[in-house]
């Protein structure tokens, strides 16, 4: 197969059956004990199996993503993405559908810089196991999925949201180079799916903030405001996994100890970047997990990782200005912060809403509709400042 060339192009996609066994990754086969633990960790999630209304759609996504990842495995990135890499569109034709990969070489390089093996990425998102669904408390009409190992999060997006993400992608990559321990969710791919001659659906893939999820007790989506920010909690003993909101968090605090100053500074850096992009309506995802006795105390689970996955690519910035920190010796370390008693999963997500005419009109309407109350649709500068103030007020 020839190396990918810039610009839109269309190719016949390889089939998972024609390549490696899709359920196999570099981490090896699953044992019985692993499968039992995995089943317990999925409590409150629903497998999208045969008979589910989204089963056919997710099967297409899996076959398409297997083939799309095969391209980046056959032609791995040789250096930082070029302008052409950011604008490439590859359409692979499958039986009954087409899957488009947008800025594929740029995302392949980003995954590589994070230390993510393409074989593991392909195995998790390909046909090796059903995607998982959870009950979303989001007001958007998007569909949400998790890979079967819960490591990757997939979300459908509107065309205008995808345009915004791709327009900001070069600066997003640059920000992660400058601040390798950023709280921004790690965006790993943007794709389109067209069934027969129907309308294109777009979706993104990102690293799940809530991973590994086995011992997480509470999950929150924080925007720093009050209108529509309450979720009715699940009944006691219910297996439902619900993401709660700002008003559910009243009376609680995040006890970070000496890590608090790092978090406040990183929030300032990341929200300043989003403000420069004219973006608002993003959320701080947050989850709690109580630490075991042997995980507590200085040095018990912290190491300074020098691997490329957390160091990032060489940057002209001084180490101090990069705001690095000690990272826990755990999967998904970039989104994990340990306090004296609790482990916190933290990440900024939903980075595609631009403050254009539509949102300015929505701001005016909400100002009249909710006098004296705080709501999400405000200017990017005010949105960033308010979310940073929320974090400062709720941490110690």
Residues 191, 68: contact at Cβ < 8 Å? yes
228: left (phi over 0), alpha (psi -120 to 50) or beta: left
Question: 131: which residues sit within 8 A by CB, 6+ positions away?
Answer: 47, 48, 58, 61, 62, 145, 146, 147, 148, 154
Find tokens 């920000």 and name the residue.
175
Tens digit of each residue's pLDDT (9 = 90 or more) over 335-350: 999 999 999 999 999 9
- What pLDDT shows up at residue 2? 44
CA dist 221 to 111, 187, 244, Å?
A: 25, 18, 6
- What pLDDT shows up at residue 12? 76
Rounded to an integer, what distance in angstroms lies between the CA atom of residue 72 and that of residue 120?
Answer: 13
Phi and psi torsions of 300, nearest 5°: -70, -35
- Could you tell me the mean pLDDT of each successive run of 10 residues in the chain, 396 residues long? 57 63 42 41 74 94 98 95 97 96 98 96 96 76 90 96 98 97 98 94 97 91 95 84 93 96 98 98 96 73 42 51 89 94 97 94 93 93 98 97
**Two tokens at 226?**
């009050």
- What pLDDT shows up at residue 242? 87
CATH superfamily membership of 43-207: Phosphatidylinositol Phosphate Kinase II Beta (3.30.800.10)
Instruction: Give the residue extent of every domain in the chain.
Output: 43-207, 218-296+333-394
Find tokens 């509107």 and name the residue.
158
Q: Helix, strand, coil: what percent of the chain each, to 5?
A: 35, 20, 45
The pTM of this model reads 0.86
Tens digit of each residue's pLDDT (9 = 90 or more) over 125-163: 999 899 998 766 666 678 899 999 999 999 999 999 999
Residue range 218-296+333-394 in CATH 3.30.470.20:
no
**Two tokens at 91?**
């359409």
Rounded to an integer, what distance in angstroms lies between the CA atom of residue 95 and that of residue 84?
Answer: 29
């Amino acid at each position: 197969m020839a190396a990918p060339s810039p610009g839109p192009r269309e190719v016949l996609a390889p089939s998972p059956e024609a390549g490696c066994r899709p359920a196999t990754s570099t981490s090896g086969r699953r044992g019985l004990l692993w499968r039992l633990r995995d089943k317990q960790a999925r409590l409150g999630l629903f497998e999208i199996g045969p008979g589910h209304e989204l089963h056919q759609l997710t099967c297409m996504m899996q076959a398409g993503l297997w083939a799309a990842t095969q391209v980046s495995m056959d032609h791995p990135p040789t250096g930082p993405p070029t302008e052409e890499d950011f604008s490439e569109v590859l359409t692979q034709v499958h039986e009954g559908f087409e899957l488009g990969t947008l800025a594929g070489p740029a995302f392949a390089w980003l995954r590589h810089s994070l230390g993510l093996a393409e074989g593991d990425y392909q195995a998790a998102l390909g046909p090796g196991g059903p995607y998982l669904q959870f009950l979303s408390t989001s007001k958007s009409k998007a569909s949400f999925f998790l890979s079967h190992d819960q490591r990757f999060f997939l979300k459908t997006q509107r065309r205008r949201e995808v345009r915004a993400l791709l327009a900001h992608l070069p600066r997003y990559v640059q920000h992660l180079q400058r601040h390798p321990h950023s709280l921004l969710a790690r965006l790993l791919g943007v794709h389109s799916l067209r069934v027969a001659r129907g309308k294109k659906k777009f979706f993104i893939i990102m690293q799940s903030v809530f991973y590994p999820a086995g011992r997480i007790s509470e999950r929150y989506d924080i925007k720093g405001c009050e209108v529509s920010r309450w979720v009715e909690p699940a009944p006691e003993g219910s297996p439902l996994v619900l993401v709660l909101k700002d008003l559910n968090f009243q009376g609680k605090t995040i006890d970070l100890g000496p890590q608090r100053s790092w978090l406040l500074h990183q929030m300032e850096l990341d929200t300043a970047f989003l403000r420069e992009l004219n973006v608002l309506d993003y959320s701080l995802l947050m989850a709690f997990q109580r630490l075991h006795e042997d995980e507590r105390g200085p040095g018990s689970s912290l190491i300074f990782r020098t691997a490329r996955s957390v160091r990032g690519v060489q940057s002209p910035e001084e180490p101090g200005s990069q705001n690095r920190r000690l990272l826990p010796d755990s999967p998904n370390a970039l989104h994990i912060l340990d306090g004296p008693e609790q482990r916190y999963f933290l990440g900024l997500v939903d980075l595609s809403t631009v403050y254009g005419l539509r949102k300015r009109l929505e701001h005016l309407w909400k100002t009249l509709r909710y006098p004296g109350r705080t709501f999400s649709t405000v200017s990017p500068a005010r949105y960033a400042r308010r979310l940073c103030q929320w974090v400062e007020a709720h941490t110690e």
